[in-house]
Structure 1
Amino acid sequence: MRAVWRTAEYLIRTGWRFWHVGLCKALALLQAAWVAFSQPIPANCGQLLTQLLLCGSLAVAGACLAHHWLVSSLFYPLGPSATIATVCGLLVFLGLGLVPPARCLFALSVPTLGTEQGRRLLLSWSTATLAVTVVPNVLANMGAAGQVLRCVTEGSLESLLNTTHQLHTASRALSPTSPVGSQGLTFQVQGNGSIFRLHMLRVTQQVLEDFSGVESLAQLAALATQRVVTGLLMLGLLVDSAWYLHCYLTDLCFDNIYATRQLAHQLEEARATHLLASPPAWLLRATWPRLSQGELLSCLLRLGPLTLLLMATAVTVATDHVAFLLAQAAVDWAQKLPVVPITLTVKYDAAYTVLGFVPFLFNQPPVENPFLSTHNSFQWELRFTSPSCPLLPAQRPPLVAPLAAGVLQLLACSTVLLETYARRLRHTIAASFFTAQEARRVHHLHARLQRRYDKHRRQQLPLGTSSFSQHLGLPASTQRR
């Protein structure tokens, strides 16, 4: 038993050692790749090759994502989508490879997705996905229910007119056999049945065309809105990243509230670590994972509207499922309506008697002489749905689109909590690309902390001197001097 435990312990330690070594090597490789990517001018051929490889990989990935986005989300044709994606890939490769600020701008756009601008982009994608897939599906199911109404109305009218026609035929079959001047069976329909039938068909067809027009208009409006809003938000994402980079390079006070390792090292060299003994409330530790109470309260307040949006999405998806169930029930009910066969048998026998009172006097039945005997049979069917009216199938609710919309909205909710870390990451990325500017910003922050410390010390010094003089028993006039 001990041997088994020792073997298991040895295997666990070996596996942990290999995992730790592999993780350290992977982190070192990623760090070296990031250093090469953030260098304005590569220091050697290895960094140049790494930089070109990273720029090419990002360009290919961006072109593939752009092509997939244009085809699947914005419904552009394959040819123009491939051309636009290829041109975008080439422009991205040239921009990343030749312009270092473009690499910084591209890197800054990733954490910018975790800010308010990225949250708007995610919410627009989510809303557009629901508008393009779920809303037309609801309208299609309502159209299927309307088609059931049309078919039932048309079939009932046809059956009613057919029954009227058969009864009229039966009445006419009896009329010619009647003698002249006698009263026969007549059946007459008030009004024109064909005109009434055409009017009802026209009304139901107009209802279906209205549903189809609303569905097409909703699809076109949602698609156009998605294209415009997505383009504007992507442009806003790049503009936000460019604005941050501009302010970082031109304003030393902009987003300069982080206690970085470079600041701690500079304070140690200047023997001024006491400046961080009681740091101000606005100073944040760049590597500190905890959020302040103000940041948590702000996150909770911003989660309220997103929660309402999630509830609205759930209601929309539930409406889609309810519309599908109703349409499916209506179609199944219409398909199961039975065909009722009807058989009308008309038997007409006429006879006459001559001197019928004579047999009656002898208590005998009168002798009947047959005059006319007619036997007719009429058959038809009652159909509650018209054979010429096809039933539309109920459209099943899509599963991928609501899940994608929900995931996008959950990501938007997570950006509320990750916005602080995204801002810190933006500062770290900008500092990696522009080390000289970061050194000036650290020096400015050092001077700001020193001024705060000196001001706080001057405010405490008179209080300390007054208390010391009172302790020695000096008069107030001497204290004021």
Structure 2
Amino acid sequence: MSDPIAESSYGVTSHLLSLVWKFWRLGICKALVPLQTAWNAFSRPVPASCCELLTQLLLCVSLACVIAALAHHWLVSSQLYPQGPPALVITVCGLLVFLSLGLVPPIRCLFALSVPTLGSEQGRRLLLSYSVANLAVAVVPNIIANVGTAGRVLSCVTEGSLENLLNTTYQLRLVSQALEPVSQAGSRSLAFETQGNGSAFRLHTHRVSQQILDDFSSLELLAQAALGTQRVVTGLFMLGLLAESAWYLHRYLTDLRFDNIYATRQLVRQLAQAGATHVLASPPPWLLQAAQPKLSHEELLSCLLRLGLLALLLVATAVTVATDYGAFLLAQAAVAWARKLPTVPITLTVKYDASYTLLGFILFILNQPPVESMVASAQRSFQWELSSLPQDCHLPQAQPPRVTAALASGSLQLLAGTTLVLQTYAWRLRHAIAASFFPAQEARRVSHLQDRLQRRHDRINRLDRQACTIGTWGPKEPGQGTRAPESQGPQSLGSSLSLV
């Protein structure tokens, strides 16, 4: 026996879920209404009302501002151009883009087609190229700067230690010079001598540290050159994206068979009006349902393989970001350690006594203590400080990781991976966009597709009737062996064709 309480709770839960789903669909439909209205106004060649005209102008102004802002960021943020000339050029370009979008409907269609074209191979190349360029312009120079900061700390500490060594040698030489008169009075000389040339050693150390910094500078110049090349490649990919959109629009307007493989609602409605819905009873394999596209197993396998390659790029990006964090932590720890190095005060006290003894062996024989006569006595104190960092050494700050650039690059790579799965849907979206801008051309294409499906259906029926005719005529002459069908085959085929 079933529990009535459990059944009632299950019924209440199902009812609540159905209500939630109904309200969710209702909310989505209400949210899509203004978007559909804006798209109808944007795709209409001539606005039908003042409201549509205002909506179209606002959309064109917004798109022109976005394009101008992206181009300004492209030119100025890379620090390759000054502030003045790009601003003027971008203003003129934004005005030209606004006039083109507002006055030329095919250009609006071309711009709209470039969005789903990002889901194609050219679009993925553009996204990945911009992602790599973003890493090259933000993350890689940051890594080089932090490693250079750590190298600068090492150079400063090395120079400071060498200066301390040379300063200690100099102080000891001063001690020997200060005690020289006293030592001469005692007929003894106090000499301090250093082996080697301290200036040459210091110069050699400076040259080595400068060579390390020059190596890092050459790496930074190489990164800048790679960045410039990447910008050129990205620009070429952008032109290729626009060229592919223009090629699609040209083929759509000139070739009725191009990308005309979708069973749209307009086709179904037109077939219903003509009473020819039977042509879709057994649709051809190339006919795709525009409302419910499905990916084949081959397309899924290709997507998985390409996603594996994108995963390798994501791993390389993660390694680059981890290197950025590691270089920042290394530079930060090195700068903090160098600044905490204390200054060591040193005090050197030298006491010098000179005395002599007369007839010391006689007193030694008599077992008497020797009598010493003081000739000279001196006591000097010398003070100096040992500093680990030289006074003229400036320690740069560690550059924090570029989190925004890393997130932007990762997002672009994830978007490129998403376009692999949505590539089939992007093709269908391009067809829908072109159909929205050119309804008359879409009507001609639908009529052509209807005629094509009708011819296919008639051809299949004719072949079926021929097969039925041959099948019914074949057993009538069993005594003629195998020659009867051969003699009557062409006649039966001709009669069947005449009937058709």
Please say whether Structure 1 and Structure 2 have the same fold, judged by a TM-score greater than 0.5. Answer: yes
Q: How far apart are the structure 1 equivalents of 2:470 and 2:458? A: 19
TM-aligned CA distance change 1:418 to 1:445, over 3 Å? same
Matched ranges for 1:305-384 at <5 A:
305-384=309-388
Structure 2 equivalent of residue 7 of structure 1: none
- Within the candidate set 56, 78, 84, 1:79 is matched to 84
Give yes or no for contact 1:136–1:218 (8 Å, CA) kept in 2.
no
Question: In the alignment, is residue 198 of structure 1 matched against residue 203 of structure 2?
Answer: yes
Deviation larger for 44-53 or 296-305: 44-53
Give the CA deviation at 1:303.
Answer: 1.5
Percent identity over the alignment? 66
Q: How far apart are the structure 1 equivalents of 2:423 and 2:375? A: 104
Amino acid of the structure 1 residue aligned with 2:435? A
Q: How far apart are the structure 1 equivalents of 2:372 and 2:93? A: 104
Q: What do the CA deviations read for 1:261-284 (whole angstroms, capped 9, x no partner)?
A: 122223323433233223222221
Amino acid of the structure 2 residue aligned with 1:379? Q
TM-aligned CA distance change 1:281 to 1:251, over 3 Å? same
Q: How far apart are the structure 2 equivalents of 1:92 and 1:103? A: 10
Mark the runs of 5 or more structure 2 residues left unpaired by the alignment. Answer: 1-15, 489-500
TM-aligned CA distance change 1:278 to 1:73, over 3 Å? farther
- State the number of aligned residues: 472
Q: How far apart are the structure 1 equivalents of 2:335 and 2:58? A: 58
Deviation larger for 181-190 or 463-472: 463-472
Partner-residue secondary structure (3-state), 1:40: coil
Structure 2 equivalent of residue 294 of structure 1: 298
Q: How far apart are the structure 2 equivalents of 1:12 and 1:76? A: 58
Give yes or no for contact 1:144–1:394 (8 Å, CA) kept in 2.
yes
Partner-residue secondary structure (3-state), 2:390: coil
Partner-residue secondary structure (3-state), 1:176: helix
Amino acid of the structure 1 residue aligned with 2:269? H
Give the CA deviation at 1:221.
Answer: 2.2
Question: In the alignment, is residue 118 of structure 1 matched against residue 118 of structure 2?
Answer: no
Question: In the alignment, is residue 130 of structure 1 matched against residue 144 of structure 2?
Answer: no
Deviation larger for 154-163 or 166-175: 166-175
Matched ranges for 1:12-411 at <5 A:
24=29, 26-72=31-77, 76-179=81-184, 182-215=187-220, 217-218=221-222, 220-411=224-415
Say what the alpha-carbon RMSD is for the aligned residues. 3.2
Q: How far apart are the structure 1 equivalents of 2:28 and 2:320? A: 45
TM-aligned CA distance change 1:157 to 1:318, over 3 Å? same
Amino acid of the structure 1 residue aligned with 2:346? I
Q: How far apart are the structure 2 equivalents of 1:344 and 1:233? A: 72
Give the CA deviation at 1:417.
Answer: 1.1
Q: How far apart are the structure 2 equivalents of 1:454 and 1:33? A: 43
Q: What do the CA deviations read for 1:342-398 (whole angstroms, capped 9, x no partner)?
A: 333222222222223443344321222222222222223333322321222222211
Give the CA deviation at 1:237.
Answer: 1.8
Question: In the alignment, is residue 428 of structure 1 matched against residue 432 of structure 2?
Answer: yes
Q: How far apart are the structure 2 equivalents of 1:310 and 1:183? A: 77
Q: How far apart are the structure 1 equivalents of 2:388 and 2:52? A: 78
Give yes or no for contact 2:347–2:381 (8 Å, CA) kept in 1.
yes
Deviation larger for 429-438 or 79-88: 79-88
Give the CA deviation at 1:181.
Answer: 10
Q: How far apart are the structure 2 equivalents of 1:193 and 1:293? A: 76
Q: How far apart are the structure 2 equivalents of 1:326 and 1:468? A: 90
Amino acid of the structure 1 residue aligned with 2:244? D
Q: How far apart are the structure 1 equivalents of 2:24 and 2:444? A: 40
Partner-residue secondary structure (3-state), 1:369: strand
Q: What do the CA deviations read for 1:223-279 (whole angstroms, capped 9, x no partner)?
A: 533542333222222111111000111112211111111222233234332332232
Give yes or no for contact 2:186–2:354 (8 Å, CA) kept in 1.
no
Give yes or no for contact 1:343–1:380 (8 Å, CA) kept in 2.
yes
Deviation larger for 97-106 or 421-430: 97-106
Deviation larger for 20-29 or 52-61: 20-29
Amino acid of the structure 1 residue aligned with 2:98? F
TM-aligned CA distance change 1:377 to 1:367, over 3 Å? same
Q: How far apart are the structure 1 equivalents of 2:33 and 2:400? A: 50
Q: How far apart are the structure 2 equivalents of 1:478 and 1:219? A: 83
Deviation larger for 349-358 or 147-156: 349-358
Give the CA deviation at 1:402.
Answer: 0.5
Give the CA deviation at 1:198.
Answer: 2.7
Q: What do the CA deviations read for 1:296-340 (whole angstroms, capped 9, x no partner)?
A: 222222212211111111111111111222222322332233333
